[in-house]
Amino acid sequence: MTPAPLLVADSVTKLGPEARGAVLVAGSHGGVYAAYLAAAAGLRGVVLNDAGIGLGQAGIAGLAYLDGLGIAAATVGHLTARIGDGRDMMARGRLSRVNEAAHRLGCAPAMRCAEAGERLREAPLAATAPPPYEEARILLRHEAGEPPVWGLDSNALVRPEDAGAVIITGSHGGLLGGRPETAIRVAALAAVYNDAGIGIDEAGMSRLPALDARGIAGATVAAASARIGEARSSWETGRLSAVNATARAWGAAVGMSVPDFARLACRRRR
């Protein structure tokens, strides 16, 4: 049997038909939503980033989810390769966790990501399609005369009409492939991300300077304070781990709660 193709991407949010039956090394976090996208794309195996593991082990929760569908999966350690950068994961990444399906193929912690990718090419194609997954887009706050505060489980859910809004996302705070334009696709008033454990090269908060350059107040919440991939978790328990210069000038500070940051941004706009 010819081994399956091995693909590399910075994110699992935009996969084309070429992904079906392939193995993917992607810079996305290893949470459940990223795992769902991998399964929905028809991948036979995937390697993601453990995003610091974080609160409730959310950064690796996708591994058990994919085991349930018969799909081999692993994560690389956030201290070994940049989150949001598939090529860096292939070049430097070392596995931190594997699911049972990947273990049966010989994958194990500390293995090089590139070697794990090759082993996953021998994985069987799963016969079970994933159940529907409704990713959250929640209106968290909207007072008269103030911009709305939207909670999005993924930065990919940002819409054109979100320009001028405050965006609280469950996504990691890393630029995709280091490209500044991937920080956010609209001119938001402010945006919050998960720092994914910060990680090597401080990749987990690399969106913040890019937002500064566009006059957007940016912050990250500590991965240990909120479940990555869940905007509501950031809203309810997230504590800021870093702020950019724009946010700092508005009065934002490390340790602030996300609702307090949002109120600060809304007052600034008003």
List the structure tokens of 50. 């453990």
Length of the chain: 270
Confidence band, pLDDT 50/70/90 cuts, at residue 18? very high
Buried/exposed 198-227: b ≥16 CB within 10 Å, e otherwise: bbbbebbbbbbebbbeeebbbbbbbbebbb
Model confidence over 87-140: pLDDT tens digits?
A: 999 999 999 999 999 999 999 999 999 999 999 999 999 888 888 877 679 999
Higher pLDDT, 131 or 6: 6
- Check: CB of residue 81 under 8 Å from CB of residue 61: no
154-163's contacts with Cβ under 8 Å and 24+ in sequence apart are 154/13, 154/33, 154/229, 155/184, 155/193, 156/11, 156/13, 156/14, 158/184, 158/185, 158/186, 158/188, 159/186, 160/186, 162/186, 162/188, 163/187, 163/188
Q: Find the mean pLDDT for residues 171-195.
A: 97
**What percent of the chain is predicted at pLDDT more than 70?**
99
Q: Find the mean pLDDT for residues 76-95.
A: 98
CA-to-CA separations, 115 to 92, 105, 204, in angstroms, rounded:
11, 11, 24
Cα(268)–Cα(63) distance, rounded to whole angstroms?
41
Of 56, 40, 36, residue with least CA distance to 48: 36
Tell me what pLDDT residue 270 has. 58
Cα(117)–Cα(103) distance, rounded to whole angstroms?
13
Model confidence over 228-269: pLDDT tens digits?
A: 999 999 999 999 999 999 999 999 999 999 999 999 999 886
User: Against a cut of 0.85, is the pTM above it?
Assistant: yes
- Measured at the CA of 243, the angle between CA 34 and CA 250, to 5 degrees, comes to 130
Tell me what pLDDT residue 135 has. 64
